[in-house]
Amino acid sequence: MQSPIPVLSMRKLYLSASDRQQFIADLGRAARDVGFFYLEDHGISLAEQVKVLDTAKSFFALSDAEKKQVQMIHSPHFRGYSANYSELTAGRRDRREQFDIMDELPALSASAIHHEWQKLIGPNQWPRQLPAIKSQLLSWQDKLTEVSLQLLAALCESLEQPADALAETISNGPYRHTKLIKYPGSPEASGQGVGAHKDPGYLTLVLQDENSGLEVEYEQQWYKVAPRPGAFVVNIGELLELASNGYLKATNHRVSSPKTGVTRYSSAFFMAAQLNASVPVLKLPSHLAKHAKGPTSDPGNPLLHNVGENVMKGRKRSHPDVSARFYASEEKCSSC
SS3 assignment, position 207: strand
Residue 229 near residue 46, CB atoms below 8 Å: yes
The reported pLDDT for the residue numbered 332 is 47
SS3 assignment, position 193: strand
51 Ramachandran zone, left/alpha/beta (phi>0; psi -120 to 50): alpha
pLDDT in tens, the chain (336 residues): 688 999 999 999 999 999 999 999 999 999 999 999 999 999 999 999 999 999 999 999 999 999 999 999 999 999 999 999 888 887 788 889 999 999 999 999 999 999 999 999 999 999 999 999 999 999 999 999 999 999 999 999 999 999 999 999 999 999 999 999 999 998 765 577 888 899 999 999 999 999 999 999 999 999 999 999 999 999 999 999 999 999 999 999 999 999 899 999 999 999 999 999 999 999 999 999 999 999 987 777 788 889 999 999 999 999 999 999 999 876 544 444
Label the pairing between strands 36-40 and 7-9: parallel
* Residue closest to 271 by CA, chosen among 195, 182, 205: 205
SS3 assignment, position 18: helix
**Tens digit of each residue's pLDDT (9 = 90 or more) over 187-214:** 765 577 888 899 999 999 999 999 999 9
Residue 120 near residue 136, CB atoms below 8 Å: no
According to DSSP, residue 90 is labeled T
**Any idea which fold 7-326 has?**
Jelly Rolls (2.60.120)
Indicate the average pLDDT of the chain. 94
Residue 127 near residue 61, CB atoms below 8 Å: no
Neighbours of 285 (CB within 10 A): 10
- Strand residue runs (E) in the chain: 7-9, 36-40, 80-82, 88-89, 92-93, 97-102, 175-183, 192-197, 203-208, 214-218, 221-224, 232-236, 253-256, 264-272
Extents of the domains making up the chain: 7-326
Q: What proportion of the chain, given as a percentage, has pLDDT over 90?
A: 85
The reported pLDDT for the residue numbered 336 is 40
Neighbours of 150 (CB within 10 A): 16
pTM, entire model: 0.94
The reported pLDDT for the residue numbered 297 is 75
CB-based burial, 94-113: b 16+ in 10 Å, e otherwise? bbbbbbbbbbeeebeeeeee
Query: DSSP secondary structure string, 134-163?
Result: HHHHHHHHHHHHHHHHHHHHHHHHHTTS-T
25's CB contacts (< 8 A; 6+ apart) are 158
